Chains A and B, each alone.
Chain A
Amino acid sequence: MKAYERVIQLVLFISAIIAVLGVILISYFIISEGYPVIRKVGLLDFLSGIRWAPTQGVYGVYPMIAGSLLVTIGALVLGVPIGIGCAIFLAELAKPRIAGILKPGIELLAGIPSVIYGLYGLAVIVPFIRKVFNNQGFSVLAGSIVLAVMILPTIINVSESAIRSVPKDYKEASLSLGSSHWQSIKNVIVPAARSGITAAVILGMGRAIGETMAVIMIVGNSPLVPESILSPVRTLTGNIGIEMGYAGGEHQKALFATGIVLFVFIMMLNIAANLIPKKAGE
């Protein structure tokens, strides 16, 4: 019996190691492939260069960094208020019957493959922007709108559980002091859940910055620093996704170097998410 237990323990341990090993191997691979280009170009020139012309050996990822950040910020501006509003509604106001319809709907939203979001953006959002603003349609705005919808499930689910985990005493104390339900939500419950809500926003941001397929299809992928939210733009993920197919030699390594930049971004977001205190009210 004990041998059996030990084997199980070993199998579980190996599973755990494989997950961590995956991260280590991928990090090592990306860095060893991409670092030579960064060293050759110079870290500062690589990060601040505004021209990306890989077939001529000019590698500047600044337009893509700006692109990723702009599209992501746009998505947060549109998605966070809706997401938090929806979370408050689900946790505090919705009758069980309505919540029973909304919850599966939101879960379904999370399950839609990103290429379908891209297709929707390409067929509906891009022509809509083209018509309204009389431009090319592919733009920061198109990317932000689609990403805002894509990050909704993350924001709603994490904020809702943060709001639900606020101790009942808080709400009861607030109500017994004479505040209305809305006043309790606004002044007591949401502030008490703010660390969880912040985590939700950061996780949503990570999702937005890492999204590739849907973004490639709708932002136009022009490697230039966007002038406005109506300009076409290329993101870090899009840069890798769109050029990997035919890239060879140094060009390919430069795409791995783009991957390093993306990796650092995601790592910083994860660290930020871990720094947030976990318990409500702190």
Chain B
Amino acid sequence: MRNKKTLASICAAVLLIGALTGCAPAETKEPTGNETGTDGVSGRITVNGSTSVQPLAEELAKAFKDKNPNATIDIQGGGSGVGIKSAADGVVDIGMSSRDLKPEEKSLKEFKIAVDGIAVIVNPANEIQGLSMEQIFKIYTGEITDWKEVGGKEGRITVVTREEGSGTRGAFIELTKVESKSEGDRTVASAITQGSTGAVITTVAGDPNAIGYASFGSVKENTDIKLISVDGKACTEENIYAGEYKISRPFLMLTQAEPTGLAKAFLDFILSEEGQTVVSGHNYLKAVK
């Protein structure tokens, strides 16, 4: 009889501890301030559009929420087209796009939040200083397989790419037209696939015949690899901001009309120094140099 009692009290204690620890975080999460109090702005906005901008937008929203715990920012994907249309129709508060607006879309208010530049990298021992967009396209689709076909020393090209689903790969194949609407991603199947920027850099740094790509922010100061020019334009911050360097794209946030309330607060935060630090922290270039 006593044994059972002991057991019962142990069980009860365990349950009680579980219940208490389970409740504690929930209690602290209760809202404490009012709308204009010390906790900043509150409310709820929806954002959708480019899946390339999405991860950065989520990071920005997280940083924004740290300062404004009562604000809720719902971020969804859908693609740049969806983002532009949704913003124009007023379905969402903010649309996201990773391409420039076409003339007929210019009625939207646009905010450039970051610039995504992708550097094409080769081994420092490679004589090649630059390639054309077409040559890069042909290398990545497997049409050109030897460096001598593009004016280099004879040697089979080791094509290095990122894994499917990576934002850098998505941007690269879109901008170099390796991805087409009808045929999808045409990256040559024998390409060495690496799961991180670091692995791509290591591969290119170790193989004199390798070509790879990585976000500009992550390789601009790396001397183990060589950044080559594209269509005669060097991969530099100046050329990317000027739009001369072709493998780059803007990250835009779009609103139907002049933003107000939470949408304005969020956009102001993104363009503030703090928001832009988040941008460069994720290896994108700041909106303005």
Let me know if B101 is at the binding interface, CB within 8 A: no
Task: Please give, as numbers and ranges, the residues of chain B lying within 8 Å of A137 by CB-CB distance.
Answer: 206-207
Establish whether residues A56 and B191, one from each chain, have CB atoms under 8 Å apart when the complex forms.
Answer: no
Q: Nearest chain A CB to B49's CB is how many angstroms away? A: 15
Establish whether residues B206 and A251, one from each chain, have CB atoms under 8 Å apart when the complex forms.
Answer: no
A81 to B245, alpha carbons, bound, how many Å?
56
Establish whether residues B194 and A221, one from each chain, have CB atoms under 8 Å apart when the complex forms.
Answer: yes
Let me know if B199 is at the binding interface, CB within 8 A: yes
Q: Which one of B170, B184, B189, B192 lies within 8 Å of A56 (CB-CB)?
A: B184
Establish whether residues A247 and B206, one from each chain, have CB atoms under 8 Å apart when the complex forms.
Answer: no
Task: Please give, as numbers and ranges, the residues of chain B lying within 8 Å of A6 by CB-CB distance.
Answer: 3
Task: Please give, as numbers and ranges, the residues of chain A lying within 8 Å of B207 by CB-CB distance.
Answer: 130, 136-137
Q: Which one of B2, B164, B170, B192 lies within 8 Å of A136 (CB-CB)?
A: B192
A7 to B9, alpha carbons, bound, how many Å?
13
Task: Mark contacts of B187-223 with chain A using CB atoms, 8 A cut-off: 1 yes-contact digit, 0 otherwise.
Answer: 0011111110001001100110110000000000000
Let me know if A243 is at the binding interface, CB within 8 A: yes
Establish whether residues A2 and B194, one from each chain, have CB atoms under 8 Å apart when the complex forms.
Answer: no
Task: Please give, as numbers and ranges, the residues of chain A lying within 8 Å of B193 by CB-CB distance.
Answer: 220-223, 234, 242
A138 to B202, alpha carbons, bound, how many Å?
12
Let me know if A53 is at the binding interface, CB within 8 A: yes
Task: Please give, as numbers and ranges, the residues of chain A lying within 8 Å of B156 by CB-CB distance.
Answer: 134-136
Task: Please give, as numbers and ranges, the residues of chain B lying within 8 Å of A13 by CB-CB distance.
Answer: none
Interface residues on A, range: 35 or more
Name the residue in B189, B190, B193 with the highest tally of chain A Cβ atoms < 10 Å from its Cβ. B193
Let me know if B81 is at the binding interface, CB within 8 A: no
A39 to B239, alpha carbons, bound, how many Å?
49
Let me know if A55 is at the binding interface, CB within 8 A: yes
Which B-chain residue is minimally distant from A54 (CB atoms)?
Answer: B164
A2 to B199, alpha carbons, bound, how many Å?
60
A243 to B164, alpha carbons, bound, how many Å?
7
Let me know if B38 is at the binding interface, CB within 8 A: no
Interface residues on B, range: 20 to 34
Let me know if A217 is at the binding interface, CB within 8 A: yes
Let me know if B167 is at the binding interface, CB within 8 A: yes
Name the residue in B6, B158, B170 with the highest tally of chain A Cβ atoms < 10 Å from its Cβ. B158
Establish whether residues B185 and A53, one from each chain, have CB atoms under 8 Å apart when the complex forms.
Answer: yes
* B-facing residues in A25-69 (Cβ within 8 Å): 53-56
Let me know if B166 is at the binding interface, CB within 8 A: yes
Q: Nearest chain A CB to B215's CB is how many angstroms away? A: 14
Establish whether residues A241 and B195, one from each chain, have CB atoms under 8 Å apart when the complex forms.
Answer: yes
Establish whether residues B3 and A242, one from each chain, have CB atoms under 8 Å apart when the complex forms.
Answer: no
Establish whether residues A242 and B163, one from each chain, have CB atoms under 8 Å apart when the complex forms.
Answer: yes
A223 to B185, alpha carbons, bound, how many Å?
13
Let me know if A259 is at the binding interface, CB within 8 A: no
A54 to B166, alpha carbons, bound, how many Å?
12
Let me know if A245 is at the binding interface, CB within 8 A: yes
Task: Please give, as numbers and ranges, the residues of chain B lying within 8 Å of A242 by CB-CB distance.
Answer: 163, 193-195
Task: Please give, as numbers and ranges, the residues of chain B lying within 8 Å of A53 by CB-CB distance.
Answer: 164, 184-185
Q: Nearest chain A CB to B125's CB is how many angstroms away? A: 13
Q: Which one of B185, B190, B202, B210 lies within 8 Å of A55 (CB-CB)?
A: B185
Let me know if B31 is at the binding interface, CB within 8 A: no
Task: Please give, as numbers and ranges, the residues of chain B lying within 8 Å of A231 by CB-CB distance.
Answer: 190
Let me know if B165 is at the binding interface, CB within 8 A: yes
Task: Please give, as numbers and ranges, the residues of chain B lying within 8 Å of A7 by CB-CB distance.
Answer: 6-7, 10
Task: Please give, as numbers and ranges, the residues of chain B lying within 8 Å of A135 by CB-CB distance.
Answer: 156
A6 to B158, alpha carbons, bound, how many Å?
65
Q: Which one of A55, A130, A138, A222 lies within 8 Å of B189 (CB-CB)?
A: A222
Known: A127-B206, A130-B207, A216-B195. A224 touches B190 (CB 8 A): yes
16 contacts between A and B (CB under 8 A): A3-B6, A6-B3, A54-B165, A55-B170, A127-B206, A136-B156, A136-B158, A220-B193, A222-B189, A223-B189, A231-B190, A234-B193, A243-B164, A245-B165, A245-B166, A248-B165
The interface of chain B, by Cβ under 8 A from chain A, is 2-3, 6-7, 10, 156, 158, 163-167, 170, 184-185, 189-195, 199, 202-203, 206-207, 209-210
